[in-house]
DNA sequence: CAGCAGAATAATGTTGACAATCTACAATCC
DNA sequence: GGATTGTAGATTGTCAACATTATTCTGCTG
């Protein structure tokens, strides 16, 4: 028992060290910039002033520069030579395309999840559904929004995919650039969760094709809701 | 007539300046590194030595660092803190996943191309097919390989998509990391071009659904061929 | 001789300074 | 008055030096 504990601690420490060791100023700044952009603290189209940000974050310009370049990977910014990096400004067409891409990849992930989900994963998915039902009943959009993100991330995790997961997450962030809350109103939340239930049902019975279709349809519906909002 | 000529020249110069203006040491180094990686001059798993590359290219480490980070966007390298950036080493599973993703996106692009292709585009597609037929008949794998890339890039262009095109191109480069020539042998080339013809036929008759299906299938067949090779 | 400290070496991370470029505004000319 | 040129300030691009971290080699100890 004692040995188990110490082993547990040791692996914990090792993991923690591993994590800390991977952190560097660039990653730190990167995360902070990403947060600022997604929170709208830096608005769409705005320039990321290297000197100002470096000063603000207490580092030199180099880490800021590299972090900004790194954000390009997620499509959060675009770089113009000799002018700077700017927070991307999504047109409606671009947003619609992002939804299409996300729908395809989400379907792919749901299909894989149906193949790979074990009993624990299925239980966890059920828990997510229940919690989102609760949030929907309370009309707590904030909570539902967070749970929704976690739910889809969880499906991505159990899919066992690599690049597709990263892509899905990246496209998700890109979409959030629009800063437009599609899910609003209790009935909208409930409807969204109905679709979640269909996805989970398909995953639970291991029906990959159905899971793929439901996952894709859920995101396509999201695109339709977005377009209807405008 | 004279006026037309000078106008023509002026726009040429303007475009050229515009292009040069966007070039900077970072982009220059980035392209060179990409070339080196895709040509296998830097092998999979190998580290990109900043100082050595900087020396070799006659620049300081900063542009090399940024260029290397920029290559991360295309998944050509992975960065490990305090250890460096390494050319990605694709496992078979990862490669298969890349093929799946590419198949989905290619299908998406073919579907859009079927909707947006004008008469000129259709003619151009026909030309590609003819040229690839010729290369296949001669068994010129090198030429077929290049034409194949151009053909798919052209479809991506006429699709009118934005992010999806970039993604498709990026995944294409990633796949090339394997440095495995799937297309070999005259019959293989001819078979591949048969599939191209089905795609072009669907685009020519404006059948988006069929184009999507054919485009996806073509890439899925590529994945199958890859897996059979091993 | 295996294995392990510890120094030496080499690489990356970070910084501040300088060069090149862009932007905005004022002075000039027609 | 309007357009154009020139100049000053701000911003990005690049560089070389220093700090920190990883790797390798060496010599010691059992």
- pLDDT tens digits, one per residue of B94-142: 999 999 999 999 999 999 999 999 999 999 999 999 999 999 999 898 9
Say which residue, B134 or B10, is predicted with more confidence.
Answer: B134
Say if CB B196 and CB B215 are below 8 A apart.
Answer: no
Query: Strand locations in B3-138, DSSP E?
Result: 47-48, 77-80, 84-87
Q: How buried is residue A58: exposed, middle or buried, by Cβ count under 10 Å (0-12/13-18/19+)?
A: exposed
pLDDT in tens, A135-184: 999 989 889 999 999 999 999 999 999 999 999 999 999 999 988 777 77
Say if CB B136 and CB B189 are below 8 A apart.
Answer: yes
Cβ contacts of A80 on chain B, cutoff 8 Å: 22
Domain spans in chain B, listed from the N-terminal domain onward: 2-87, 92-229
pLDDT of A1 reads: 40
**Average pLDDT in the B7-20 region?**
54
Portion 1-30 of A in contact with B at CB < 8 A: 21-24, 27
Q: How far apart are CA A159 and CA B99, in angstroms?
A: 16
Say if CB B117 and CB B203 are below 8 A apart.
Answer: yes
* Among the ranges given (A21-30, B81-90, B204-213), the one the predictor scored with the smallest mean pLDDT: A21-30
B81 vs A21, A69, A73: nearest CB: A21
The separation, in Å, between residue A43 CA and nucleotide C26 C1' comes to: 32
Cβ contacts of B98 on chain A, cutoff 8 Å: 163
Q: How far apart are the first and last CA of chain B?
A: 61
Nucleotide nearest B80, from its CA to each C1': C12
Residues 6+ apart with CB under 8 A from B166: none
In terms of DSSP H, where are the helices of B39-88? Answer: 50-57, 61-71
CATH 3.30.870.10 assigned to B92-229 = no
* pLDDT over 60 at A14, yes or no: no
**Average pLDDT in the B140-164 region?**
94
Compute and round to an integer the Cα radius of gyration of chain A.
20
Q: Give the CA distances from residue B5 to residues A163, A215, B1, B2, B11, in Å, rounded to whole numbers and listed in that order.
A: 49, 55, 6, 5, 10
Name the residue with tokens 């070339």. Answer: B35
Q: How far apart are CA A51 and CA A59, in angstroms?
A: 9
Cβ contacts of A93 on chain B, cutoff 8 Å: 162
A226 touches strand C (CB under 7 A): no
* Among the ranges given (A58-62, B2-6, B24-28), the one the predictor scored with the smallest mean pLDDT: B2-6
Q: How far apart are CA A219 and CA A223, in angstroms?
A: 6
The separation, in Å, between residue B54 CA and nucleotide D27 C1' comes to: 36
Name which of A24, A60, A62, A79 to mutate to probe chain B: the one with the most chain B Cβ atoms within 10 A of its Cβ: A79
CATH architecture of B2-87: Orthogonal Bundle (1.10)
Name the residue with tokens 């068994």. Answer: B139
Distance from CA of A211 to the nearest CA of B (A): 16
* pLDDT over 50 at A17, yes or no: no
Percentage of chain A lying above the pLDDT 90 cut = 77
pLDDT of B11 reads: 52
The residues of B between 77 and 136 with beta carbon within 7 Å of nucleic strand D are 81-83
Portion 171-210 of A in contact with B at CB < 8 A: 174
pLDDT of B1 reads: 39
Distance from CA of A139 to the nearest CA of B (A): 34
């Amino acid at each position: 028992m004692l040995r188990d504990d110490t082993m547990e601690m040791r692996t914990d420490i090792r993991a923690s060290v591993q994590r800390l060791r991977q952190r560097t100023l660039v990653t730190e700044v990167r995360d902070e910039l990403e947060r600022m952009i997604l929170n709208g603290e830096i608005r769409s189209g705005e320039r990321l002033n290297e000197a100002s940000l470096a000063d603000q974050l207490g580092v030199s310009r180099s880490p800021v520069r590299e972090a900004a370049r790194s954000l390009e990977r997620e499509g959060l910014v675009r770089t113009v030579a000799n002018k700077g990096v700017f927070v991307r400004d999504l047109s409606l067409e671009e947003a619609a395309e992002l939804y299409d891409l996300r729908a395809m990849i989400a379907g792919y992930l749901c299909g894989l999840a149906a193949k790979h989900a074990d009993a624990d994963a299925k239980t966890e998915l059920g828990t997510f559904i229940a919690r989102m039902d609760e949030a929907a009943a309370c009309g707590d959009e904030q909570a539902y929004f967070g749970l929704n993100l976690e739910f889809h991330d969880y499906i991505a995790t159990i899919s066992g995919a690599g690049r597709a997961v990263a892509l899905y997450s990246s496209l998700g962030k890109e979409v959030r650039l629009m800063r437009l809350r599609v899910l609003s109103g209790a009935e909208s939340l409930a409807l969204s969760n109905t679709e979640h239930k269909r996805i989970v049902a398909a995953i639970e019975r291991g029906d990959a094709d159905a899971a793929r279709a439901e996952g894709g349809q859920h995101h396509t519906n999201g695109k339709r809701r977005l377009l209807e909002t405008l």
